[in-house]
Amino acid sequence: MSLTAALNLARNGLAINQAAIQTTGNNIANVGNPNYTRQSPTITTAKDQQWRPGVFVGTGAQLEGIHRQIDDALEGRVRNSLSDAENAGAQQQWLSRVESVFNELSDQDLSTQLSTFFNSWSDLANKPQDLGLRQVVVQSGVSVATWFNQMNGEMQSLRADLGEKLKASALKADTLAEQIADLNGQITRSEGGAVGAEAMGLRDQRDTRLKDLASLVEIRTIEQPNGVVNVYVGSDPLVFDTRSRGVTTTNETIDGRVVTQVVFKSNGGVLQSDSGELGGLTKVRDALDQTNADLDQLASSLSFELNKIHSSGQGLEGFASVVGSTTIADTTVALTDPKTDLKVMPKSGSFVVHVKDKASGLSTSTLVQIDLDGAGTDTSLDSLITQLDAVGGITAASNGGRLQITADNAPSSEISFSQDSSGVLAALGVNTFFAGTEAGTIRVNQQISDKPQLLAAAKNGNSGDNQAARLIANLETAGLASLGGASLKSTYEGMVSNIATQTATASASAEASAVVVETLQAQREALSGVSLDEEAVNLMRYQRAFQGAARVVTVVDELMDTMLAMVR
C-alpha cells in the first residue's frame, strides 16, 4: 500500500481506457465494413493487495484482452448459405441466357419459324405448280435451318463463355485458397500459439477470404488449436495447414465436346462441388449440353423425317443428275455399318427409280432392293451403285463417297424417285429437302434452293399432285419413330418447357437462398456488427473512466506534494 501503488493503479486505468477508446475508435472506423467483426475489450478486476491480514485493497483494473464478438458456427452457416445463394444465382443468371436463346413466347422464335415453314407447305398444296409458293417454301426452309444454326451457334458461344467463366472462377478460388493458407501461417506466427491470443485483423481477413471461397465452392472448415483453419471440399482437403492444394481447370473431350473440368492442382483430381458458383456453372453446362443435344435431335428428326417423304416425292421436273448430300466414309461396308459415318441409318426395303423420256412423257420404272437385314450380303454404297448402274438409262457412280446418279440421255430424259420404304435415299441425301443432320449443319439442299422446280410436292408422279406437300405439312404434329413416337411440336415444346422449368426453379431458389443469406447475415450483424450508438456510449464511458483515472493521478500527485511538504 503506497501512493506509488495508487499512482500505478491510476496509470493502469489510463492505459486500459485509452486502449478501450482505441478499440471503440477502431470499431467506429470500421462501422461500414461488412466483414468487420466488432471488437470489445475485456477489462477485469486486478488482483487484490493485502493491507493487513484479512483486509484486501483493490489494485484497479487490468485489460485481459481485446476479443472479436463472433459466433463461429454462425459464420459457417453464413458461408454455406452463400454457397447455396451463389449456386442458385449462377444457375438463374446463365439459364436465363440459355432460355433467351429460344426467345419463346414471341413471334421471333423457332416454333413460329417451324409453323411458317410447315404452313408454307400447306399453302403449296393449294397450288403445287406455283413457283412463287415453291420459293416461299425454300425460303422458309432456309429460315428454319438458319434459325437452328443460330441457336446452335449461340449455345456454343454460351458454352464457351461458360467455360471461360469456370476458368476465371477456378482461378479466383485458387488465389483465395492460396491466401487462406498464407493467412493461416501469419495467424499462427502472430498468435504464437498463446491461449486466448487473437490476431483479429488477420482473422477478419481470413474470414473474408473463406466467405469469398464459399461463394465459389461449397467448403467445410475445421479450426485447429493453433489457429489454423483447414478447408475441405467434400472430403478432399483444399487448404491444409499452411499449404493450398490449388485449383485449376483442364479441358477434356467427352462425346466430341470439350468439357472444362475443375480439378486440384496438386494431383489433378476432380474438385466436386455441388454448390457454390462453380457447382452452379457446372450444372448449367450440363443443362446446356442436354438442351443442345435435344436441339440436335430435333434438327436431325426434322431433316430425316421430312427427307423421307421428300425423297419419295417428285418435283415439277426430274433430275438430269443428282448428287447425294451425305458423304459415306467407307463405301464398301453395309450401309448400317458405323464405318459409313451415316448419322441416320436406312433399313431393308426398296425404292423405285423412274427414268422419264421428256418428249413422250413415258417413264421406265425399276425397283431397287435394299438388303440390310444383317444376313447374307448387305447393301453397301458400292453394291447400290452397281445395282443402279444396271438400270437402263442411268449411270451411277460414287462422287467422293456421295452417290451420284445421272440420266444418260439428259437433257431429253430425267430421273425421279418414289416409294422408298428403306429410307436409303433420305440417308444418302438423294432428292432431299434438307442436307445436314445436326442443328449446326442443317441447311436446305443446294439443288433445291437453286431450282425450286425440284421441290417434291407430288407423290404419284403427276406434276400437279400435292400429296407429298400435304404429308410434309402435317409432319409437325405427326408422331415420329425417330422421336420415340413423339411429334416435332411436342418435342420442341418439351425442350422449351424443360429449360423454362429449370430457369424458374433456379430463380425461385436464388430468391429463397438470398433470403437465407440475408437472415443469417442479419443474425451475424446483430452479434458482430458495429453500432455507432453503442460505440458512442462506450466512448463516453471510457472517456469518463479516463478522465476519472487522470483525476486520481492529480489527487495522488497532490497527496505526494502534501507528503513531500511534510519533509520540509
Partner 1 sequence: MAILPANIARVSNNLRANTSLNQIQRTQAQLIRTQNQLATGRRLNAPSDDPGQSTIAAQIRKTLEKRDAYNTNLQQAKNGLSEVDSTLGEISDLALQAQQVASANVGDLVTQEERVAASAIIKSIYSQMVTLGNRSFEGSYIFAGDRLDQPPFEEFAGGVKFKGSATTLRNDFDESTTGDFQVNGAAVWGALSTRIESSADNSPSLTGVTRLTDLKGTTGEGVTPGVIAISDGTFSANIDLNNANSMQDVIDAINNAAVGTLTASFNASGDGLQITGGAGDEITIRDIGGGRTANDLGIRTNLSGGTGAPVIGSDIQPKITPLTPIASLNNGLGIDTAGLIISNGTKTATIDLSSATTVEDLLNAINGAEVGVQAEIKADGSGLRLLNPTQGNEMRVGENGGGTAADLGLRSFDTNSKLGDLNAGKGVRTKDGADFRITDSNGVAFDIDLTTAQQDVQDVLDAINTAATTAGAGVTASFAATGNGIVLTDTAGGAGTLNLAAQNFSQAAADLGLDAPVTGNTIEGRDVHEVVAQGVFANMNKLQRAMAEGDQQGITEAAEAIQQDYDRVVRMRGEVGARVQEIESRQTRLADQNVSTTALLSQIEDTDFTEAITKFQLLQTSLQASLQTTGQVLNLSLIDFLR
CB of 219 to partner 1, least distance (A): 24
CB of 258 to partner 1, least distance (A): 28
Contacts of 507 (CB under 8 A, 6+ apart): 92, 96
CB of 303 to partner 1, least distance (A): 20
CB of 95 to partner 1, least distance (A): 8
Q: Which helix (H) or strand (E) holds 285?
A: helix 276-311
Instruction: Report residue 501 CA to chain centroid gap.
Output: 15
Contact 267, 282 (CB under 8 A): no
Helix axes 276-311, 72-102, angle to 10 degrees: 20
Contacts of 557 (CB under 8 A, 6+ apart): 7
CB of 193 to partner 1, least distance (A): 32
CB of 458 to partner 1, least distance (A): 8
Residue 146's identity, in one-letter code, is: T
Contact 224, 213 (CB under 8 A): no
Q: Which is nearer to partner 1, 40 or 406 (CB)?
A: 40
DSSP state of 47: P
Q: Which is nearer to partner 1, 402 or 470 (CB)?
A: 470
Q: Which helix (H) or strand (E) holds 550?
A: helix 532-567
Q: Which is nearer to partner 1, 352 or 550 (CB)?
A: 352
Q: Are strands 247-254 and 243-244 parallel, antiparallel or unpaired?
A: unpaired
Q: Which is nearer to partner 1, 369 or 446 (CB)?
A: 369
What does the alpha-carbon distance between residue 211 and residue 99 come to, in Å, rounded to a whole number?
Answer: 30
Q: Are strands 61-68 and 220-223 parallel, antiparallel or unpaired?
A: unpaired
CA neighbor of 407 nearest in space, from 417, 415, 399, 397 = 415
CB of 400 to partner 1, least distance (A): 30
Q: Which is nearer to partner 1, 10 or 90 (CB)?
A: 90
Q: Which is nearer to partner 1, 283 or 402 (CB)?
A: 283
| ∠ CA 50-55-566, rounded to 5° | 75
Give strand ranges (E) for 30-120.
Answer: 39-45, 49-52, 55-57, 61-68
Q: Which is nearer to partner 1, 167 or 347 (CB)?
A: 347
3-class secondary structure for 324-385?
CCCCCCCCCCECCCHHHCCCCCCCCEEEEEEEEECCCCEEEEEEEEECCCCCCCCCEHHHHH
Q: Which is nearer to partner 1, 49 or 96 (CB)?
A: 96
CB of 126 to partner 1, least distance (A): 4
CB of 104 to partner 1, least distance (A): 5
CA neighbor of 259 nearest in space, from 249, 269, 267 = 249
CB of 504 to partner 1, least distance (A): 4
Q: Which helix (H) or strand (E) holds 116?
A: helix 110-126
CA neighbor of 203 nearest in space, from 482, 444, 528 = 528
Q: Which is nearer to partner 1, 159 or 524 (CB)?
A: 524
Q: Which is nearer to partner 1, 319 or 492 (CB)?
A: 492
Beta bridge partners of residue 367, listed in sequence order: 352
Integer Rg of the chain from CA: 40
Give strand ranges (E) for 235-316.
Answer: 236-240, 243-244, 247-254, 257-264
Q: Which is nearer to partner 1, 13 or 423 (CB)?
A: 423
What does the alpha-carbon distance between residue 174 and residue 538 come to, in Å, rounded to a whole number?
Answer: 41
CB of 365 to partner 1, least distance (A): 5
What does the alpha-carbon distance between residue 506 and residue 521 come to, in Å, rounded to a whole number?
Answer: 22
CB of 508 to partner 1, least distance (A): 10
Q: What is the residue whose three cell numbers read 419413330?
A: 481
CB of 191 to partner 1, least distance (A): 26
